[in-house]
Amino acid sequence: MIGQNLKIGLQKGVILLFVGLAVGVFAGWVSLITAEGAEALAASAARFYPLFGLAFVGILILQVYFDLRGSARINYQRLGSALLILLTAALSGVIGGTVFFIGAAAQIPAVFGQEKAADTVLALYPAIGLDSFLIVLIISLLVALFTAIFAQRQLRNDP
């Protein structure tokens, strides 16, 4: 059961990776238009990292909402299962989504020859900062925790 719940959580995390990719592509396009040089590109793209966090928790909540209305609702009947699924999804999704965000935000300007992707990636790490990453991670884990509790209570109250 634990293995299956981890698998479901990782599958949800993979879906959430694409949130990082989408926001990273958007950040890359905006930085391509508004900035020149690796440092400026990174600073411009890093401004969109909180948007990744906001979109991430929104999509996570929507996943649970649709799961509760379908056949996947059985995964949330026990609090331990719901917690394992959603905390695994949040942890893997934020880490992977951040990697996808950084990769996409650096590749868009590189494709158009404005700056080398490696230089932009190296500038993006400090531009985003460990504090922003940890804030997004902690908020995502808290949202996953409260969403799991809410989902389990919803199922307990349904006839």
Q: Is the pLDDT of residue 14 over 80?
A: yes
Whether residue 158 contacts residue 76, with contact meaning beta carbons closer than 8 Å, is answered with: no
CB-based contacts of 19, cutoff 8 Å, min separation 6: 52, 55, 56, 59, 93, 97
Confidence of residue 65 (pLDDT cuts 50, 70, 90): very high
Q: How many residues does the chain have?
A: 159
SS3 at position 1: coil
As a whole number of angstroms, the distance between CA 5 and CA 41 comes to 40
Q: Report the domain count for the chain.
A: 1
Mean local confidence (pLDDT), 11-19: 93
**pLDDT tens digits for range 48-60:** 999 999 999 999 9
Domain limits for position 72: 2-157
Res. 159: pLDDT tops 90: no
